[in-house]
């Protein structure tokens, strides 16, 4: 939601920049700042304030800054609280490089750790600041060259403007999945994140495209399309396992952070609203949607199934979920009031893409949820939402699944509040979502206990994973994870109520069931299924809500999750199931990061 303005040309008075920035006020922001190169003093000067642009204006009137080029920014806090230090512009250690940024740097933690280890000093908690230090690392007198190298190490989205005291006659602008426009009038250049801001100063405009880097100099500019891969001397972005033996374990331990990143900057708790910038352009169309079809494969489809429960209960939108590979061979009924939501971690799954194309061809509004910026899915959808949880290396999808569920909860709030959902309900979901990362962390504290349980249960070769309502798709996910990473075991999922219709015949003392039974609206029904299995000598490992002591009377073992809203329980119940599968796989001596026969991204039909 942030805004960007930059100018290189004849104007020295930043009042013009502030006026242009005011035209971006409608987008919402919580702090603002500016920086300009003063040729007389051969230095860059900056001002920042928390709150309205008028605060910045007041500060500016007391200590005006003159110079050119200049850059300005309004910030909507995502990473790092609303403080003056976190407002943009950000700079490097030498105060040579100043940047403003819209978007999110997903791998900023890894980069920041490396840069800190190299002695860089940071003055904010933002993701953005790593970009100025990275550029500093590569800077040898040429700003665009250093920027180009730095951007190769960045994962995420950005619209960036950069100026430098040591290469002062320049603004470097770069874009990936966040708009940036260059307005030109004679020899004056105005760069902005939104055309509205620069209308008075632009006769012609150029829309920067993804992966383009523009260098604007007095009376001239050129644009470089950055595509060719290049070897860099510093492998800052090498995926690291850190203290973990496997990526899968590391990524499960990142699940609380995945929830945090997925909601970051996307909640307006007081208004009970979700703010999804990626859907802005189709906001009005979404109000008209009467039906939604969610498509995905494997784990992504299970997320969609949880979404079906959420959207139908809270947004009142009829939802249908289908497997990518099946959808296009049906004759799906689609009209212009149908939205298709494609869920894919990679954004490259051939079956999902084929289904998406088919739905689009029939006139559906195409939406997507993906983790990979610039993937095919992002290019082929009308609008979408990024997971923003950093690269997932383990073949089994874990932290991205958690993020998909979190985003579906946000989407439910977004669409629900466009319809009948009350302010009170919106606030309630919002409050519970904010608590989730902390609750997820408490589950991971049971790591040792789950590892012990995995050891105990690894002797079995068959499992049922049972759940109902919101947790039936999580039973599917739990069974899939066992199949994928503990593949000497066969695991099947069922809704609790289905067991008596046949599968119960399989149960004996060698056929245990994992029963997901949080204290929710179907708890009593799940108990029936557990009793049925128990009375046939089947062992029960229950995933239950803290405080439920009674479950111990019937289950052989219990893993507890904290209490939350029923619609959000899947986000918590998934975590112990992911850990359980990973530890059983390890117990069986399997490579859980690269299980046999599987690929991370399935790009063939
Ligand atoms: O990249 P995608 O999310 O589209 O991948 C879809 C499935 O191939 C994927 O979820 C698969 O089921 C994983 N191996 C699950 O862990």
Q: Using most ligand atoms within 8 A of CB, pick from 297, 324, 355 the residue to mutate for ligand 1.
A: 297
> Is 313 buried (19+), middle (13-18) or exposed (0-12) by CB count in 10 A?
middle
Q: Using most ligand atoms within 8 A of CB, pick from 397, 481, 582 the residue to mutate for ligand 1.
A: 397
Give yes or no for a contact between 315 and 416, defined as CB atoms under 8 angstroms apart. Answer: yes
Mean pLDDT, residues 152-169 taken together: 94
Ligand 1: lining residues by beta carbon, under 6 Å: 297-300, 344-346, 349, 352, 395-397, 484, 598, 601-602
As given in the structure block, the two tokens for residue 591 are 């490579």
For residue 41, is pLDDT > 90? yes
- pTM comes to 0.78
For residue 112, is pLDDT > 80? yes
* Residue 26, pLDDT score: 66
Mean pLDDT, residues 372-397 taken together: 90
Give the closest residue (by CA) to ligand 1 atom 10.
Answer: 299
Mean pLDDT, residues 154-166 taken together: 94
* Residue 605, pLDDT score: 67
Mean pLDDT, residues 167-187 taken together: 91
Mean pLDDT, residues 154-163 taken together: 93
As given in the structure block, the two tokens for residue 98 are 């100043």
207-216, 361-370, 537-546: the lowest-pLDDT one: 207-216
Q: Considering Cα of 344, then 345, then 347, then 351, what sign does the dihedral take?
A: negative
Q: Which residues are catalytic?
A: 2, 600
Mean pLDDT, residues 227-232 taken together: 39
pLDDT band at 226 (very low <50, low <70, confident <90, very high): low
Which atom belonging to ligand 1 lies closest to the Cα atom of 400? 3
* Residue 450, pLDDT score: 98
Report CA-CA distances (Å) from 238 to 176, 178, 393, 513, 572: 21, 25, 11, 40, 30
* Residue 231, pLDDT score: 40
For residue 241, is pLDDT > 90? no
pLDDT digits (tens, 9 = 90+) for 486-522: 999 999 999 999 999 999 999 999 999 999 999 999 9
For residue 116, is pLDDT > 80? yes
As given in the structure block, the two tokens for residue 157 are 């989205």
Query: Hey, what domains does the chain have and what are their CATH numbers?
Result: 3-237 (3.60.20.10), 241-443 (3.40.50.10490), 446-591 (3.40.50.10490)
Give yes or no for a contact between 461 and 483, defined as CB atoms under 8 angstroms apart. Answer: no
Q: Considering Cα of 270, then 272, then 276, then 280, what sign does the dihedral take?
A: negative
pLDDT digits (tens, 9 = 90+) for 560-605: 999 999 999 999 999 999 999 999 999 999 999 988 888 777 776 6
Q: What is the mean pLDDT of the chain?
A: 93
For residue 358, is pLDDT > 80? yes
Q: Rounded distance, CA 146 to CA 141, Å?
A: 8
Interval between CA 537 and ligand 1 midpoint (Å): 35
Which atom belonging to ligand 1 lies closest to the Cα atom of 598? 14
Q: Rounded distance, CA 24 to CA 462, Å?
A: 59
For residue 142, is pLDDT > 80? yes
Give the closest residue (by CA) to ligand 1 atom 6.
Answer: 297
Interval between CA 322 and ligand 1 midpoint (Å): 14
Q: Using most ligand atoms within 8 A of CB, pick from 247, 252, 294, 299 the residue to mutate for ligand 1.
A: 299
Give yes or no for a contact between 258 and 389, defined as CB atoms under 8 angstroms apart. Answer: yes
For residue 236, is pLDDT > 50? no
Q: Using most ligand atoms within 8 A of CB, pick from 345, 485, 486 the residue to mutate for ligand 1.
A: 345
Mean pLDDT, residues 167-171 taken together: 96
Which atom belonging to ligand 1 lies closest to the Cα atom of 602? 8
Mean pLDDT, residues 17-41 taken together: 89
As given in the structure block, the two tokens for residue 492 are 């099947």
Contacts of 592 (CB under 8 A, 6+ apart): 246, 248, 249, 394, 396, 485, 582, 585, 586
Interval between CA 299 and ligand 1 midpoint (Å): 5
Interval between CA 300 and ligand 1 midpoint (Å): 6
For residue 230, is pLDDT > 50? no
Which atom belonging to ligand 1 lies closest to the Cα atom of 299? 10
Q: Rounded distance, CA 100 to CA 19, Å?
A: 17
Give the closest residue (by CA) to ligand 1 atom 7.
Answer: 298
Interval between CA 10 and ligand 1 midpoint (Å): 53
Interval between CA 407 and ligand 1 midpoint (Å): 17
Interval between CA 397 and ligand 1 midpoint (Å): 6
Q: Rounded distance, CA 260 to CA 303, Å?
A: 18
For residue 436, is pLDDT > 80? yes
Give the closest residue (by CA) to ligand 1 atom 11.
Answer: 298
* Residue 78, pLDDT score: 81
Interval between CA 478 and ligand 1 midpoint (Å): 14
Interval between CA 382 and ligand 1 midpoint (Å): 22
Which atom belonging to ligand 1 lies closest to the Cα atom of 397? 16
Mean pLDDT, residues 462-491 taken together: 97
Give the closest residue (by CA) to ligand 1 atom 12.
Answer: 298
Which atom belonging to ligand 1 lies closest to the Cα atom of 298? 12
pLDDT digits (tens, 9 = 90+) for 449-465: 999 999 999 999 999 99
Which atom belonging to ligand 1 lies closest to the Cα atom of 370? 3
Interval between CA 286 and ligand 1 midpoint (Å): 27
pLDDT band at 536 (very low <50, low <70, confident <90, very high): very high
Helix (H) or strand (E) holding 442: helix 423-444
Q: Using most ligand atoms within 8 A of CB, pick from 252, 255, 349 the residue to mutate for ligand 1.
A: 349
Q: Rounded distance, CA 380 to CA 347, Å?
A: 10
pLDDT band at 269 (very low <50, low <70, confident <90, very high): very high
* Residue 235, pLDDT score: 42
Give the closest residue (by CA) to ligand 1 atom 4.
Answer: 344
DSSP state of 404: H
| Count of residues in the chain | 605
For residue 196, is pLDDT > 80? no
Which atom belonging to ligand 1 lies closest to the Cα atom of 601? 1
Report CA-CA distances (Å) from 469 to 42, 223, 306, 517: 65, 53, 9, 10
């Amino acid at each position: 939601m942030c805004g960007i303005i930059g100018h290189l040309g004849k104007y020295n008075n930043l009042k013009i920049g502030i006026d242009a920035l005011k035209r971006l006020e409608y987008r919402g922001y919580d702090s603002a700042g500016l920086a300009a190169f003063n040729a007389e003093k051969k230095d860059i000067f900056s001002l920042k304030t928390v709150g309205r642009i008028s605060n910045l204006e007041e500060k500016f009137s007391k200590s005006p800054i003159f110079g050119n080029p200049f850059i300005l920014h309004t910030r909507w806090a995502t990473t790092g609280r609303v403080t003056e230090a976190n407002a943009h512009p950000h700079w490097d250690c030498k105060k040579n490089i100043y940047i403003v940024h819209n978007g999110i740097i997903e791998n900023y933690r890894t980069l920041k750790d490396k840069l800190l280890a190299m002695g860089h000093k940071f003055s904010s908690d933002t993701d953005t600041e790593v970009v100025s230090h990275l550029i500093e690392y590569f800077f040898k007198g040429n700003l665009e060259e250093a920027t180009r190298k730095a951007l190769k190490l960045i994962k995420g989205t950005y619209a960036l403007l950069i100026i430098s005291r040591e290469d002062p006659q320049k603004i470097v602008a770069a874009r990936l999945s966040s708009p940036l426009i260059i307005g030109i009038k004679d020899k004056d250049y105005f760069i902005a994140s939104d055309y509205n801001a620069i209308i008075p100063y632009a006769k012609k405009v150029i829309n920067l495209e993804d992966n383009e880097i523009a260098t604007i100099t007095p009376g001239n500019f050129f644009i470089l399309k950055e595509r060719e891969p290049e070897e860099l001397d510093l492998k800052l972005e090498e995926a690291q396992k850190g203290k973990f033996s496997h990526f899968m374990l590391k990524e499960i331990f990142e699940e609380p952070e995945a929830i945090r990143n997925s909601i970051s900057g996307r909640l307006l708790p007081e208004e009970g609203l979700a703010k999804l910038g990626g859907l802005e352009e189709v906001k009005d169309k979404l109000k008209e949607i009467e039906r939604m079809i969610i498509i995905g494969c494997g784990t992504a489809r299970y997320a969609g199934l949880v979404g079906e429960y959420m959207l139908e209960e809270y947004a009142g939108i009829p939802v249908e979920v289908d497997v990518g590979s099946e959808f296009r061979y049906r004759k799906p009924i689609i009209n212009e009031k149908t939205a298709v939501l494609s869920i894919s971690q990679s954004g490259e799954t051939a079956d999902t893409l084929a289904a998406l194309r088919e739905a689009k061809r029939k006139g559906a509004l195409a939406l997507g949820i993906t983790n990979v910026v610039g993937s095919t899915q992002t290019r082929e959808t009308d609008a979408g939402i990024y997971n923003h949880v950093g690269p997932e290396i383990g073949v089994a999808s874990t932290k991205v699944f958690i993020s998909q569920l979190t985003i579906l909860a946000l989407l439910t709030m977004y669409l629900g509040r466009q319809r009948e959902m009350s302010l009170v309900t919106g606030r309630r979901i919002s409050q519970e979502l904010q608590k989730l990362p902390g609750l997820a962390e408490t589950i991971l504290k049971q790591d040792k206990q789950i590892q012990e349980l995995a050891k105990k249960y690894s002797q079995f070769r068959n499992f049922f994973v049972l759940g109902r309502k919101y947790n039936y798709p999580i039973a599917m996910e739990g069974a899939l994870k066992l199949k994928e990473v503990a593949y000497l075991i066969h695991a099947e999922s069922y809704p609790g109520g289905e067991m008596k219709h046949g599968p119960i015949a399989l149960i004996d003392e060698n056929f245990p069931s994992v029963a997901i039974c949080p204290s929710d609206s179907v708890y009593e029904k799940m108990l029936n299924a557990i009793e049925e299995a128990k009375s046939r000598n089947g062992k029960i490992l229950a995933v239950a809500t803290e405080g439920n002591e009674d479950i111990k009377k019937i289950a052989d073992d219990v893993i507890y999750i904290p209490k939350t809203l029923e619609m959000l329980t899947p986000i918590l119940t998934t975590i112990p199931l992911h850990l359980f599968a990973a530890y059983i796989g390890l117990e069986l001596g399997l490579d859980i990061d690269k299980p046999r026969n599987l690929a991370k991204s399935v790009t063939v039909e």
